[in-house]
Amino acid sequence: MDVLIAAAARALAAGDPLGALNRIALRDDAPALALRGIAMAQLGDLVRAKALVRSAARTFGPTEAVARARCVVAEAEIALASRDLSWPAKVLEAALTTLEAHGDLVNAAHARYLDVRRFLLIGHLDEAERRVAAFDPGRLPPAFGAIHQLIAAGIALRRVRAGAARAALARAEGAARRAGIPALMAEVESASRVLNTPAARLIARGNERVIRLQEVEEVLASRALVVDACRYVVRDPTAVVSLARRPVLFALARVLGEAWPGDAPREMLIAQAFRAKHADESCPSGKAA
């Protein structure tokens, strides 16, 4: 690796994409194309980043398997950032195998974390939790510790575990500061703000107010019967009943829940559940007209 490529790589690792581009912006060799692509990704130009990384992968020779695998990892990260869920996960798995076989443990770990973040993004929380629990970032650079804790916080947030999320974000902040990467510190700060912003709307006894995640967790842990309009379930301390595939029943439960402890008028139930204006009183079944 020549001096300019090494300097650009160090700049990218430190979160300085402009410093990297100052060294390699006019070069079109494969390593420079790859680094330029990563720099553009850090700057937010994901379309240009994807094109550069793909061009680098084509430019590397057939014997440069590790370099091409690193390009695959970079492209996977760009796809994740752009929410391209159609990007083939098996390609990342193959790149991971290549990196581990050649002893590139840092980039292999990066590939593993990207895979976990994909599971988190598509809502496979159990799989994401299982995989992140199998990692030990202790021997990796501090940035990986921050990423590890950000993923743990993301899982906790989606499971409505505010305390666990807060603890994970505190650990992520410490790791990000040790890494000294401004973009990573900004990501941790952004994730932390979620804990202090309105997360839901609570309607109880005719009163309505917005609540934070901590309060959502407290409501779900209480002995109350909760009609959850986010997950389309009805729950109490002993059971959870999903009505995601029973929209009429869920609409009825929601109207009744919002009206409690009072009654919901029949016309309101019909209007909300069946989207009808009035009921045909001559029909015993009360079909909507």
pLDDT digits (tens, 9 = 90+) for 33-70: 999 999 999 999 999 999 999 999 999 988 999 999 99
Residues 53, 81 within the same domain: yes
Residues 42, 101 within the same domain: yes
Q: What distances in angstroms separate CA 276 from CA 107, 130, 131, 268, one per listed residue?
A: 58, 46, 48, 9
Last residue of a domain, one of 164, 196, 228: 196
Residues 182, 247 within the same domain: no
Above 80 in pLDDT, residue 273? Answer: no
Residues 13, 149 within the same domain: yes
CATH number at residue 189: 1.25.40.10
In a domain, 255, yes or no: yes
pLDDT digits (tens, 9 = 90+) for 83-137: 988 888 899 999 999 999 999 999 999 999 999 999 999 999 999 999 999 888 8
In a domain, 254, yes or no: yes
The string of DSSP letters for 150-217 reads HHHHHHHHHTT-HHHHHHHHHHHHHHHHHHT-HHHHHHHHHHHHGGGS--EEEEETTEEEEE-HHHHH
In a domain, 206, yes or no: no
Residues 44, 174 within the same domain: yes
Burial 174-186 (b: 16+ CB within 10 A, else e): ebbeebebeebbe
Residues 165, 231 within the same domain: no
In a domain, 17, yes or no: yes
Residues 183, 49 within the same domain: yes
- What residues contact residue 262 under an 8 Å CB cut-off, 6+ apart? 206
Residues 233, 140 within the same domain: no
Above 80 in pLDDT, residue 197? Answer: yes
Residues 190, 224 within the same domain: no
- Write the DSSP symbol of residue 244: T
Above 70 in pLDDT, residue 278? Answer: no
The count of domains in the chain is 2
In a domain, 258, yes or no: yes
User: What tokens appear for 278 in the block?
Assistant: 């009035």
Q: How far is CA 250 from the centre of its chain?
A: 28
144: domain range? 3-196
Residues 140, 220 within the same domain: no
Residues 118, 169 within the same domain: yes
Last residue of a domain, one of 148, 167, 196: 196
Residues 99, 128 within the same domain: yes
pLDDT digits (tens, 9 = 90+) for 203-213: 888 788 998 99
Mean pLDDT, all residues of the chain: 89
- How much of the chain, in percent, has pLDDT values that exceed 90? 63
In a domain, 225, yes or no: yes
